[in-house]
Amino acid sequence: MKGMLRRILTLGACVLAFAATSATAAFAEDGDDPELEDVSKKVGDIEEKLDELLARGRWARAGKLLAAADCGFGEASAAFAPWGDDATYSLAPQGDLAATDEWTLDKDATIVPGADPFSGAGQSLELAKGADAASPAMCVNLDHPTIRFFIKGKGGNERSRLKVEVLYEDFGGHVKQLTIARLKARSEWRPSVIIPMYMNRLALASPEGLTAVAFRFRAVGLQKDETLSISSLCVDPFRNR
């Protein structure tokens, strides 16, 4: 049993390494100002606890995030192939923002007409200074290592960033958050970097092989009348490579 668990953990580590390598290549153009957060220590601590949990033959406790999670994804396609990314992606639940009843939006986060010109979406999420929004919870496993979407900014402030957090359940079923990216936006729509979600690894601690995540987007460093927008939130279903 322990040998089998070790093989599973090794496979997961390979998936994680692939995702991180792809993401690094994707934002090389940004030079010395990386957009992905260094979460190696935090992830390493969670991996260690995961290993200990499985070695004792125990499972994580499911919480409210998993209970509310949508386990369906749309059809996969090579949505970012024009930018050299041949991976197939599926829309996250309500990822095209055509429906937003499962999103959590504060008063400065708005769904507006118009979106990126590449995906066919008709609406986008616009964040003013200090705004944040959280996506619906979704079921993921080792087959879902990364997310990607389109991003645009208005205002030209060099310090403005889109802060991306993954919300996840710890082994006790409590909702936690981890900052995974701080993205820069340009005045025209473009793809985000490839963002590893990391916490899909926690699916190993579930007897069903699933865990739940959501993504929170925060506008930081904006000035008055500046905005950040996102469109077409996608998840990479690794199994289709």
Q: For residue 73, name the pLDDT band (cuts at 50, 70, 90).
A: confident
Who contacts 169 (Cβ-Cβ below 8 Å, separation ≥6)? Answer: 60, 62, 63, 65, 66, 175, 176, 202, 211, 212
Rounded to the nearest 5°, which phi and psi values hold at 76? -85, 145
| Segment 178-211, tens digit of pLDDT | 999 999 999 999 999 999 999 999 999 999 999 9
Chain-centre distance for alpha carbon 139? 12
CATH, residue 236: 2.60.120.260
Decide: 164 and 149 in contact? Cβ < 8 Å.
Answer: no
Chain-centre distance for alpha carbon 223? 26
Residue matched to tokens 């919870």? 137
Nearest in space to 237 (alpha carbons), one of 149, 142, 168, 119: 142
Query: Does the pLDDT at position 5 exceed 70?
Result: no
Residue-range definition of the domain harbouring residue 213: 2-240
- The torsion angle over the Cα atoms of residues 190, 182, 229 and 189, rounded to 10 degrees, is -10
What's the pLDDT score for residue 238?
Answer: 62
What's the pLDDT score for residue 33?
Answer: 60
| Segment 129-143, tens digit of pLDDT | 999 999 999 999 999
Residue matched to tokens 């639940």? 93
- The torsion angle over the Cα atoms of residues 175, 88, 180 and 29, rounded to 10 degrees, is -170
- The torsion angle over the Cα atoms of residues 62, 64, 66 and 68, rounded to 10 degrees, is 150
* The residue count for the chain: 241
Decide: 183 and 219 in contact? Cβ < 8 Å.
Answer: no
| Segment 107-119, tens digit of pLDDT | 999 999 999 999 9
Q: What is the spatial distance between Cα 76 and Cα 52, in angstroms, rounded to a whole number?
A: 35
148, exposed or middle or buried, with CB in 10 Å at 0-12, 13-18, 19+? buried
> How many structural domains comprise the chain?
1
Rounded to the nearest 5°, which phi and psi values hold at 62? -75, 140
Per-chain mean pLDDT for the chain: 87
For 127, 185, 222, the CA distances from 227, given in Å and listed in that order, are 5, 10, 7
Q: What is the spatial distance between Cα 3 and Cα 19, in angstroms, rounded to a whole number?
A: 25
Residue matched to tokens 């197939």? 88
What's the pLDDT score for residue 156?
Answer: 74
The three state secondary structure string of 102-153 is CCEECCCEEEEECCCCCCCCCEEEEECCCCEEECCCEEECCCCCEEEEEEEE
Nearest in space to 148 (alpha carbons), one of 175, 176, 181: 181
